[in-house]
């Protein structure tokens, strides 16, 4: 078998499993229906969690998603959980790639992995959409919001997902969980983060809320769009999916847009959205809230600030993983060392005009 491994920007990759393509190809030909003739694995750079490879085989192109190499935190990088949600959603109103096999046998590549179809499309990495003409940008955001609505309208009972997460007290539980993660990863603390945690604790929503399927990391760059169009052809990166409060996802989608435009994860702070052809947060929230039959006057400040807190806690975890040698990209350390940007953005959001 003539097979090779290639990569994009390999200097950025910190901890990926070494692929034995002969062994991997043999496994996939036995366990993935129709798979034959693995020829190449190309490491794709993007994200800081689970490595992704594009496989080229005689039978076509595929995506291989693996856990990182090295010691992993308990319950982290649970690809079996991601495999379950993708399998349940395939063929639904939420577009996801077709899955082929989940492998828990560590003697194949050393870590858990799954194989799915390669989907041709484009991912918009920058929320300002600089690569698109001004007149197309609002349509991209409208499609993204409509896709989020489709996720939250998913019938979790019909898809057998009622046990995919816990009902009730979502933000209280999440605040406790991510605060613990942050303090474990960064016991010395960060002033802005500690202040944000205290502010969120006093502002926790106590009202009953519907329980919906959450993507868990709702951002523009976790959507793949058709080329030269505004239709979402795949929703990516479901590792943090669970059940919970619908405004958690909306807050995440809107919150990252409040980040500075020159940050590692560029936001739209200080950008004239109208001049750039970009809808503002109020427009996007209104589109979502009305479609979900929720109060269009809902104050989104807590939900956006909470998303920034969660991103900050994740960044602290990235710094810890970089120290342990289990980070996927060098950007993990950069995010970890600048987690105060997320916390400060969260505080600014709470203090902003609703």
Last residue of a domain, one of 84, 117, 150: 117
Query: Quick check: 53 and 42 in contact, CB under 8 A?
Result: yes
Classify residue 211: in a domain, yes or no.
yes
Last residue of a domain, one of 87, 117, 147: 117
> Do residues 228 and 162 share a domain?
yes
How confident is the prediction for the chain on average, in pLDDT?
90
> Do residues 139 and 10 share a domain?
no
Domain of residue 145, CATH code: 3.90.1200.10
pLDDT exceeds 90 at position 77: no
pLDDT exceeds 70 at position 75: no
Classify residue 189: in a domain, yes or no.
yes
Buried b (16+ CB within 10 A) or exposed e, 181-197: bbbebbeeebebbeebb
> Do residues 189 and 331 share a domain?
yes
Classify residue 68: in a domain, yes or no.
yes
**Domain extent for 235:** 134-351
pLDDT band with cut points at 50, 70 and 90 for residue 68 = confident
> Do residues 149 and 41 share a domain?
no
Q: Which of 6, 114, 137, 4 is nearest to 62 (CA)?
A: 114
Query: Is the pTM here over 0.95, yes or no?
Result: no
Q: Which of 246, 243, 104, 78 is nearest to 160 (CA)?
A: 243
Domain of residue 23, CATH code: 3.30.200.20
| Joined tokens for residue 262 | 């020159």
pLDDT exceeds 60 at position 92: yes
Classify residue 55: in a domain, yes or no.
yes
> Do residues 112 and 159 share a domain?
no
Classify residue 122: in a domain, yes or no.
no
pLDDT band with cut points at 50, 70 and 90 for residue 70 = low
Query: How many domains does the chain fold into?
Result: 2
> Do residues 9 and 48 share a domain?
yes
Last residue of a domain, one of 117, 150, 172: 117
pLDDT given at position 15: 62
């Amino acid at each position: 078998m003539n097979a090779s491994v290639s990569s994009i920007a390999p200097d950025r990759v910190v901890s990926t499993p070494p692929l034995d393509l002969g062994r991997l190809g043999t496994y996939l030909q036995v366990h993935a229906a129709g798979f034959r003739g693995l020829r190449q694995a190309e490491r794709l750079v993007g994200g800081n969690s689970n490595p992704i490879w594009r496989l080229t085989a005689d039978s076509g192109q595929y995506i291989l998603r693996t856990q990182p190499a090295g010691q992993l935190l308990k319950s982290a990088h649970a690809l079996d959980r991601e495999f379950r949600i993708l399998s349940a959603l395939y063929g639904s109103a939420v577009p996801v790639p077709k899955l082929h096999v989940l492998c828990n046998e560590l003697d194949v590549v050393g870590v858990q992995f799954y194989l799915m179809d390669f989907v041709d499309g484009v991912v918009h990495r920058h929320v300002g959409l600089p690569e698109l003409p001004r007149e197309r940008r609002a349509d991209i955001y409208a499609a993204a919001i409509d896709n989020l609505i489709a996720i939250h309208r998913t019938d979790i009972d019909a898809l057998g997902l009622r046990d995919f997460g816990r009902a009730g007290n979502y933000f209280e539980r999440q605040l406790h969980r991510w605060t613990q993660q942050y303090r474990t990863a960064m016991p010395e603390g960060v002033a802005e983060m500690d202040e944000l945690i205290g502010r969120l604790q006093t502002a926790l929503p106590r009202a009953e809320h519907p329980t919906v399927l959450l993507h868990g990391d709702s951002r523009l760059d976790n959507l793949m769009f058709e080329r030269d169009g505004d239709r979402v052809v795949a929703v990516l990166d479901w590792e943090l999916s669970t059940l919970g409060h619908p405004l958690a996802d909306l807050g995440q989608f809107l919150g990252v847009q409040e980040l500075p435009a020159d940050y590692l994860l560029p936001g739209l702070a200080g950008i004239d959205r109208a001049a750039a052809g970009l809808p503002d947060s109020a427009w996007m929230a209104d589109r979502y809230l009305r479609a979900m039959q929720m109060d269009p006057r809902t104050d989104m400040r807590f939900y956006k600030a909470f998303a920034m807190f969660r991103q900050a806690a994740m960044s602290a975890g990235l710094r810890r993983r970089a120290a342990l040698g289990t980070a996927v990209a060098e950007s993990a350390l950069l995010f970890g060392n600048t987690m105060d940007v997320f916390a400060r953005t969260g505080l600014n959001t709470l203090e902003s005009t609703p």
